[in-house]
Structure 1
């Protein structure tokens, strides 16, 4: 039983380490039944089995939780929880784990986000049939649909090309007409197929757009050209962005870092970017939110490190920022404009004579 700020979930968790798989069957309070199938190769499928046939494919490079995950945790002593006397461990300020002193079974989990999990039953050796570990076919549908389309397109074109050759061989008198007719038919089919391809490829979802934006943001970039053109006003800054994690809802979390190009090991700006589709009520496709990092020193040069030396993906959630949306800044009423500035920081009078009307949104 999970409780996250009053939102309840009943979760059946099947952990099968020998076969490298983990399965969460999640019933949200007054919500849909969700299946979260995780494999040790880093692939996860989150789907429903209802008529909507929803499915998302996620990538978690670390794979399934290891049996020895508690190594290196801090032992905090014993505490009474849910009617059990428990040993308590804390790990990386991320999770507090409680296990029964007598049986060593898990009793309670507490996450730094405030979410808690009460373990109602725990059965060692319980087995879920293999047929239930298979993601539904519609999880793969979008992967092969476009490939089949292009394959069919080229087969049609090749068949028409063969038809043209046969027509050309029927006689010298009709040779020119046959060639023209074959070219016309072939051209019409290719134009029609191209239109069909264009329409289908346009039917991407906002999640596809979010993925593309995340890919475009990722990588190493420099302001070298700008600094060369105007060295008095611009520095050569190195900006590097790389994937840090993928949230359960499919949002991409990117680590962002800026440093002077001569000293990349000393970043002066570190952020997490969360890339996801905009809410339906907003007129946009993709929302990019910026978050301050709780422990900037720990994440320094994150993208330049080997993957096994980076903080674990679940620690990436350790950020803080706005919860309900960006801050909105608008011009102050004329009656209060003089109250906004003290004599020490007031701009010159000539700058205040003509106010600039406008507003902007600051996400960070």
Structure 2
């Protein structure tokens, strides 16, 4: 079961990539259908990625959630023409619209809880309750209240709810940057960034911590994720900072602050940058230019804090023999990239 589950997860992940590339290079799918298929595939990955390791009861729940996700996705695809031609708030949702819409929201909420924790789940739940029971609140913050029919109409059947600007930014922009960043890391670019940071600042006062700051900034510029940044650089930089005299709490704080700042560093900047493009109508380069200055100032502030702490505690840098060989790392990354490019060409129509 474990092998088959892992195979299925890989197939779904490849399927998402194929869907995205098909919509760009072959024929764009209708937006509502595209968003629904993309979201359903992601939710199946969330529910299925740990399926073999979970207890039997949890496995049954996960399989039920996967089945429900496939059901509402198939329903949206089958009824897509009706959804895009209906008149909002005039053509009332059918009973099956409300059943499948409720199933979509329920599976999305559970996936949110698993991925982002209880905090975001509770916040989303509060706003859902606010939509239904706003009529019992004071007039200054209350409203007339929504029924289930109108709630499903807004959140599921229109482009103003779940299938609105945020998921549009993910499907249209973020996915391709993540795909590029994954390729860059697999080609050795991530390790090259870390080696460059240590080569540039490793010998200076408090060098290991400064290297952690710069490496996190460089890694964050290509993945836009604080969690991925901590995993990619923290497992190496935190033990090194501790070995050279930094207190464990300070070493962890430096890595956490630096990795969080990766979401501010162009060009990727997490999901927020692409949502800003959609909301403001500004081009992406303008958003990047505006974000570059505060991002650099943020990292300079961390570097100053690290340097002052190193001066106060009398901490030194790395010895020359422990500095990485940047030339070897860059050559390894280039070799992998060349092999990947040759493989891609050989399997392309041109290569054949």
TM over 0.5: no
TM-score (norm 1): 0.22
Q: Which has the higher contact order (CA 8 A, sep 6+)?
A: 2
Q: If the length of structure 2 is used for normalisation, what is the TM-score?
A: 0.23
Larger radius of gyration between Structure 1 and Structure 2 = 1
Higher strand share: 1
